[in-house]
Structure 1
């Protein structure tokens, strides 16, 4: 395995691990998670729905053939999370020191890098980039 492949694998694992780690809190209705989605007016359907999308995203990121699609989906989900922090929740949520925001930003950046690295796996981008 070359250095580029190792870095790519590490990025995929880090992004998936961050996404999967937050699922426990969403699916068990942890108070902080409920607070976030109540503040956004999306509790409980949004919390569970976003959790399911994050699970799918993590799986797509880990499967080499679907990494590009997972990265795009991750960018959308995390872009929404970042926007929610900046417009409604604030950077710090319930004295977390900004941890959720920082994790969302890191994962968004990783997904952006992965989307670029795997851009030719994504049918729409593949077609556009060939022209």
Structure 2
């Protein structure tokens, strides 16, 4: 079955966008930038107020290093999936990206972090980080929907007809 140009190139564009957003954020997470200190410090204080101190601290299970590593893994899967054209690898990257970014969106909406985050100079980012998170979420979900036929075929399923 011949793919139309949108079916062929949209997953490529989506994967590149997700990987770009995640990879450019790694510098901030892995260097413990002031923005990252603010974000994860705010979340750690919130967690401590709920009786879970250290959850988002440097050694916590949701630390910037754990989140950054998951973002790096998702990016690698997405980019390797582009090169190898393996739908399962691409879908694995999209699923991991969707999981990580769903957590980010949750914490922006339902914690004191909020939609607008403080920059290093103390100014608000105008919701830019939250907007990028929403863009990654939509991109990962759309990518999974576009890959559904190939993934199900690779798994020996119905080829996605039940999800058309």
Q: What is the TM-score of this pair, normalised by structure 2?
A: 0.71
Structure 1: any 5+ residue segments left out of the alignment? Answer: none
Contact 1:61–1:70 (CA under 8 A) maintained in structure 2? yes
Offset at residue 7 of structure 1 (A): 2.0
List structure 1 runs of 4+ shifted beyond 3 angstroms.
125-131
Q: What is the TM-score of this pair, normalised by structure 1?
A: 0.88
Greater helix share, structure number: 1
Structure 2: any 5+ residue segments left out of the alignment? Answer: 45-55, 119-123
Q: 1:66-122: CA deviations, max 9, x gaps?
A: 110111111110000000000111100110111110000000000001111223437
Aligned length: 130
| Larger CA Rg, structure 1 vs 2 | 2
Write out aligned runs for 1:1-131 (5 A).
Answer: 3-4=5-6, 5-41=8-44, 42-45=56-59, 46-64=63-81, 65=86, 66-88=89-111, 89-94=113-118, 95-119=124-148, 120-121=150-151
